Structure 1
Amino acid sequence: MPSSKKKKEDVPLVSMAGLIRYYEEENEKIKISPKAFIIASIVLIAVVIALSALVPPP
């Protein structure tokens, strides 16, 4: 088997297109469930609305 053919098989198709893959471990990322994110967003929106109603504009 020629060495050029062997090199082509070892190189991923994505890197041949000029793109780079970054392999990151999933353990390094913060994991939040979608339900917790939606609930936190709704609570934050409610707090902002309540504060805007309670605090008069300057």
Structure 2
Amino acid sequence: MPSTKKKKENIPLVSMAGLIRYYDEENEKVKIDPKVALIGSIVLIAIILILSKLVPPP
């Protein structure tokens, strides 16, 4: 079975009848834990709200 799987991966794009395969390159992407992103955004919102109360508008 591995030989058939290997053959499927080597099919050129021309013979796929117009279908394009998109490969995920996860080695080059920056990975951020969803919890860190959520906490960071909440902290950023809090800082902006605090600064908007402390600094009067011009």
TM-score, normalization by structure 1: 0.65
Alignment size in residue pairs: 45
Partner of 2:50: 50
Aligned-residue Cα RMSD (Å) equals: 2.3
Please list every run of 5 or more consecutive structure 2 residues that lacks an aligned counterpart in the other structure.
1-14
The offset of 1:42, in angstroms, is 0.3
The offset of 1:14, in angstroms, is 7.2
Provide the secondary structure at the position in 1 that maps to 2:35: helix
Structure 2: distance between partners of 1:21 and 1:28:
18
Superposed, 1:14-25 pairs within 5 Å as: 15=19, 20-25=20-25
Superposed, 1:1-58 pairs within 5 Å as: 11=16, 15=19, 20-58=20-58
The 4+ residue runs of structure 1 with deviation greater than 6 A are none
